[in-house]
Structures are given as structure tokens and as C-alpha cells.
Amino acid sequence: MKTSHVLLLLVCFASFLFCGKLNSQFNLGLSINKVNSLAKPNSRMFCAPDGNLTYAFGFVSETTDKSLGLSLYKSFTKLFLNVDIIYRSSKTRYMIKDYTEEFFSPISYLDETYQTFHIPVIAGINYKNIKLGAGTFFNYHLKNDNALGKTFPFENRNRKLDTGVELFLGYKLFNRILLQIRYEKAFVRVGNHIYYNHQSTRILSRMDNVSFGVSVFPGGMDK
């Protein structure tokens, strides 16, 4: 998805939330986050039907260079509800060792880039300026691109939706700024959308993250 399309979608969503705020007293904010992957490097071996070793395929690292979007917040005295829609641009690096030509062949590295809407739904409690919550998240994948199928006999079966659980710790400043740290525990494993011989390459590592962020609510937060 082009950047212009992403911005248009965010603007439309902002307009929708603004109208919702007038009717239900939700507060609209802007959010930016620094995402750090907790997924650990791991690899698997694959064989041909005759049992001969063919490839080693593994996960090396994941980085997220963009994570920003909109935040919808509502306070219920001692409780709160927070729903975000965050656009993320990320890159995953894989390693592949080809045993079909020679056993001591060099390791190749390929990058996969993808764009995602990360949508966490968090509920929790207020204690003075501290906010503690938990909930679930949905990752809707907009675009996924890698060169695996062009270079090696691996198939990229793009997944559109992944889910997981999220823990939340926040601190409110001046009733308009929310500092936050989040832990994302994904239900999906690394490489579950990449197949070899009709078998998913699911690696033991999961796409877990910890993020540090700030959300700004011009109209205030808790009433």
C-alpha cells in the first residue's frame, strides 16, 4: 500500500473517531512508538521426499522503522478503555543454506518487508496517574514482499490477520500525555506464512515485541 493510501485511511479514521468523540465522549490522540522485537534467532532443516537434506531455513532478526497512528481513549473513573490503530513498517531477515548443490554452500540472507495495521484493544484500571491494563491485538497485513520464491523453492502465502495478547503500563502527564510500555505476545510463529513442499516453515520463535510510546490527547484524557 502506498504511503498516500495509508495517510488517507488514517485521515478517514480520524474523522470517524472525531464524530464518535462528540457522541460518546471518547478522546482522540496521536501515538508514536518504538518497537523492539523479542523474537530469537532460530532455524529448521528441510528434506526432500527421499530423505535427503535440502535446505536450512532460519529467522535472523526483525526491525520496525515506523510505528505511528491514532489512539482512542475513554475513562470510567477507576477504569479505562484504549483502542489504537497503528501503522507499522517492518523488515524481517531470514537465512537460507542450500544443500542441493553442495553440502558446504554459503549461507544466503534475504529480507522480507511488510506493512501492518497494529490494532490493540486494552482495558484496565486507573491508580492516580498510573494505568495498568491488558487486552488483545489484531495485526492486519497490508503488504508483504520477499524474494524467496524468486531464488529458492519456497512459497509465500501471505496471511492477512494475526492476533495475540498485550500487556500495558502507562503514566499520565498533565492529563494530555500518556507515556506507555507494552508487551505483545503473538499467537503466531515466525515464518508460518512461508511454505516448503506444502509444509509451513514455522520456526520456534514467536513474533513477540516490547514497545515504548507516547500518546498525545489535545482534548485531555480523564475528566
Predicted pLDDT at 170: 96
Predicted pLDDT at 123: 95
In a domain, 103, yes or no: no
In a domain, 105, yes or no: no
What is the rounded distance in angstroms from the CA atom of residue 86 to the CA atom of residue 95?
Answer: 29
Number of separate domains in the chain: 1
The cell numbers describing 160, all together, are 492477512
What is the rounded distance in angstroms from the CA atom of residue 59 to the CA atom of residue 115?
Answer: 18
In a domain, 147, yes or no: yes
Cell 491508580: give the residue: 127
In a domain, 83, yes or no: yes
Provide φ and ψ at 86, rounded to 5°: -115, 130
What is the rounded distance in angstroms from the CA atom of residue 58 to the CA atom of residue 76?
Answer: 46
Predicted pLDDT at 10: 54
Three-state SS string across 154-191, please? CEECCCCEEEEEEEEEEEEECCCEEEEEEEEEECCECC
Among 67, 193, 76, 74, residue whose Cα is nearest residue 119 = 67
What's the Cα-to-Cα distance from 213 to each of 79, 103, 170, 182, 191, rounded to whole Å?
21, 46, 9, 8, 27
In a domain, 48, yes or no: no
In a domain, 144, yes or no: yes
On whether the CB atoms of residues 208 and 42 are closer than 8 A, the answer is no
What's the Cα-to-Cα distance from 114 to each of 32, 36, 62, 87, 140, rounded to whole Å?
18, 16, 11, 11, 11
In a domain, 188, yes or no: yes
In a domain, 118, yes or no: yes
Among 93, 96, 117, 119, residue whose Cα is nearest residue 205 = 93
DSSP assignment letter at 206: B
Q: What is the domain-level CATH number for residue 69?
A: 2.40.160.20
pLDDT per residue, tens digit, the chain (223 aa), is 445 445 445 544 554 554 444 445 679 999 999 999 999 999 988 888 877 888 889 999 999 999 999 999 998 889 999 999 999 999 999 999 888 877 677 888 988 888 999 999 999 999 989 999 999 999 998 877 777 767 788 888 888 888 999 999 999 999 999 999 999 999 988 888 888 888 888 888 888 999 999 999 998 888 7
The whole domain housing 150 covers: 3-40+63-90+112-216
> How many separate helices (H) and strands (E) can be counted in the chain?
2, 12
